Amino acid sequence: MNINTILLLFLVIAAYSNLYLTFNKTKKKKKTRLPISSKEWREKVEEENFKSWLSKSKRVKNK
């Protein structure tokens, strides 16, 4: 066997092991579930901002 053949074999083994470890890592990674979705959070913030604006506009009208 030629030295180039041996080095090529090691390179192929390293590439396949890297590919295996990468796929194995992505399979194990779990997505974290947030307690509230971004849409619900946005609606909550918009509702709070609207209530704040409404109360401020009432105070301005009363003055």
For the whole prediction, is pTM greater than 0.75?
A: no
Helices (H) and strands (E) in the chain, counts: 2, 0
Per-residue model confidence (pLDDT) at position 30 = 66
pLDDT in tens, 16-51: 999 998 887 766 666 677 777 888 888 989 999 999
User: Which of 32, 51, 48 is closest to 40 using CA atoms?
Assistant: 48
The three-state (H, E, C) secondary structure of the chain, written as one string: CCHHHHHHHHHHHHHHHHHHHHHHHHHHCCCCCCCCCHHHHHHHHHHHHHHHHHHHHHHHHHC
